[in-house]
Structure formats: C-alpha cells, structure tokens
Amino acid sequence: MSKIRRFLTRRSGQSLVEFALLAPAFFFLLIGVLDFGRAGFYYVSIVDLAKQTARYSAAYNSGTGFTSANIDAYIKGQANATTINTPVLKTVGLCPRPVGPPGAPCQLPAVGQAYYWVVKCIIPTCNPETVTVTVVYAFRPTTPMISAITGTMYLWADSVMIKEYIG
C-alpha cells in the first residue's frame, strides 16, 4: 500500500511540465516588449528629427534662410545619426503633408524608410511666419507573430517653429 501511495504522490516531472507550458507565453511576452521598445525608440527618434529639422529650417542667416538642399543634407545627416535610413523629401504639391495619421498611398514609406515634408508659411497666408516639418516612418516588428497581428505601423511626428532671424 505504501508503494502505491508514493507513486500517486510523486511529482518529479510537474515543474518540467509547468515550464513547458508557460515558457512560450513568457518568451512571446519578452520579445513583444523588446519589439514595442524598438517602436518607442523610433518614435522618439522621428519626433527629435522633426523638431531639429524645423529648428534648422526656421533659422535665417542674414535674412536669406537655408536652401532646400541645405535642409535636405541636414535632415539626412541627423537621420543617419539616429539609425533611421535616409529620409526622402516629399513635395507638398505632388503629395500633401499628412495631417494626423498618414493615409494617402504617397504618404506611406516602405518598411524601415522615412518620408518628410517641409512647409514654409509666408506672411500673407499666416502670421507669424512658420516652418512645419512632418516625418513619417514605417515600422514593422521583427517577431513574426507580433508582425502578423500589428502589420506595418506608420509613426509620424510634426514640429512647427517660428522663423528666426540671426544677426
């Protein structure tokens, strides 16, 4: 009778079975947190990129301002420093700047790419003169299961600065 009782109360494999059942959920959660941490990193990066580019675009050297080529070189240098692939300038006439989440096909970059718009407001249309920079970045999680759930996420940031005249 004691041998049967010992056999029924033995639990040597219980922890192994519990680990086998819970490990996939734990690792899925861990990888998901890492993926969404990457999304947060890219969001903070494009917010900073939009803000720094708007600041650069709003500064005028002796009243002439920076050219589009200067602004393009600046944003590409800043983007490469933050591990964002070289952003592509979109012209406002051909592809309108998104107001809120991007929705038009021309506003949606490929995964891992970024688009940006620079809109300078002139005095007759608005007061004071402003520069608006919008950056859109396409992010896709690397974990296949999370990627299947979320798909491509389009992160966007706007920054508006009032033009400044330097010396």
Per-residue pLDDT, averaged over 87-104, amounts to 88
pLDDT category at 45 given cuts 50, 70, 90 is: very high
pLDDT category at 164 given cuts 50, 70, 90 is: confident
| End-to-end Cα, the chain, rounded Å | 99
pLDDT in tens, 145-156: 889 999 999 999
pLDDT for res 44: 95
Residue 4 domain-assigned (yes or no): no
Residue 128 domain-assigned (yes or no): yes
How confident is the prediction for the chain on average, in pLDDT? 85
pLDDT for res 53: 92
Domains identified in the chain, total number: 1
Per-residue pLDDT, averaged over 9-21, amounts to 80
What is the rounded CA–CA span in Å between residue 8 and residue 28?
A: 34
Residue 1 domain-assigned (yes or no): no
Residue 157 domain-assigned (yes or no): yes
What is the rounded CA–CA span in Å between residue 139 and residue 111?
A: 6
Per-residue pLDDT, averaged over 38-51, amounts to 94
Residue 8 domain-assigned (yes or no): no
pLDDT category at 128 given cuts 50, 70, 90 is: low
Domain containing 124 equals 14-166
Residue 3 domain-assigned (yes or no): no
What is the rounded CA–CA span in Å between residue 93 and residue 106?
A: 12
Lowest mean pLDDT among 52-56, 60-64, 88-92, 98-102: 60-64
Task: Please state the three-class secondary structure of the chain as a single string.
Answer: CHHHHHHHHCCCCHHHHHHHHHHHHHHHHHHHHHHHHHHHHHHHHHHHHHHHHHHHHHEEECCCCCCHHHHHHHHHHHHHHCCCCCCEECCCCCCCCCCCCCCCHHHCCCCCCEEEEEEECCCCCCCCCEEEEEEEEEECCCCHHHHHHHCCEEEEEEEEEECEEEC
